[in-house]
Amino acid sequence: MPALDKHDSPLPTTTVKWRFPSVHPDGRKYAVGVGGAALLAFIMHLQILAWILIGITIWVAAFFRDPVRTTPRGDKLIIAPADGLVTMIARVGPPPELRGSDALADGDYTRVSIFMSVFDVHINRAPITGRVKRIAYVPGKFVNADLDKASEDNERQHMLVESSDGLRIGFTQIAGLVARRIISFVREGDVVDAGQRVGLIRFGSRVDVFLPAGTAPKVLLGQRTIAGETILAEMGVDAPLVGISQ
């Protein structure tokens, strides 16, 4: 069998280099503010305070980091909207704010909960390509987002995206113990690509994704997801995964 010429190779021949993640504009003002306070502390010879503020500045910049992500393409792929730990997978009904003839039908959905610690990237991304059909903000408490009751008690924002072939995926941004604001980058009626940035939650939180019946998650409890990259599920594929923590 003749060897493949490099032009006939099915594999990509380009390379990708690591680059330092940028800081999202929403976080730059916080980093600049704390950094300015650190500089003032140095000028006033408050060395201990200054170094503490420098550490906080670095943490704030890291919290709002916005790395580039490479999103798999596929009409039936549902992509993880958040970085974090898969802490719960449960069969539940859709939230009232996402129900309706033009939203999610009544019935059981598989809710995949992704918990974002203060060390995770907090930029959230669209799980599918489509039009943003609904955004519903609900004020609430700020209990630990890792608790099941946070989905009903905490400040949260529901979002529904509908693809061109009628697939509807709902997901919920839930504020956490120290989170105090959920920010949207999109509006109802906007068209988004899978993996596109749609919002962020400040300082620790959770994102719930509602998978329709007949679609099993392709992630496991204890697994970490990467927003815009991890394949959360494939529409219509109901074969559950089996894994082990090690």
Point out which residues pair with 157 in neighbouring strands.
Answer: 137, 173
End-to-end CA distance of the chain: 42
Both tokens of 51, joined, read 């170094």
205 as an active site residue: the answer is yes
Q: Which of 186, 167, 187, 179 is nearest to 207 (CA)?
A: 179
Strands 182-184 and 123-125: unpaired
SS (H, E, C) 95-135: CHHHECCCCECCCCEEEEEEEECCCCCCEEECCCCEEEEEE
Place of tokens 């993640």: 21
Q: Which amino acids are annotated catalytic?
A: 205
